[in-house]
Amino acid sequence: MAIEIERKFLVSNEQYKADARQKVRITQGYLNSTPERTVRVRTKGDKGYLTIKGLSNESGTTRYEWEKEIPLDEATALLALCEPGVIDKTRYLVPAGKHTFEVDEFYGDNQGLVVAEVELASEEEAFNKPQWLGEEVTGDKKYYNSVLMRQPFSSW
């Protein structure tokens, strides 16, 4: 079983762009977006992915995650079957100490939202916090991509 442990933060300024070692455009939709299980389809650059995530624990840091790469044309076809609402964003990979933050800059109805996530080996693992890291929003469901597609940032 694959377990994902991550913490999520708002981003306070654009310094992460200068520190990024890579960026890629991501489009994603959800075949199922219930809190107990989400089934996500994603195109990331020239690749496709199918991801299943389970319910988060009480703190929002840990949950089951299964992901497989699928052909881009299949991912594109599956996106057409998804629930209404699409997530469109650019992901920046930003090293910080021994970790890499994934910083997502959102577009469309989520324009103006920038969120950083860091994956950890345990919930207690220490990590460097770059100066551009803002308020922690781990466990705040309104920042879940599966919620942002139905209740976008522009509607808050």
Determine whether 30 is an active site residue.
yes
Contact predicate 11/25, CB 8 Å? no
Cα 50 to Cα 78: distance, rounded to the nearest angstrom: 9
The separation between CA 95 and the C-alpha centre of its own chain, rounded to angstroms, equals 17
Catalytic, out of 16, 30, 92, 144: 30
Q: Which residues are catalytic, by number?
A: 30
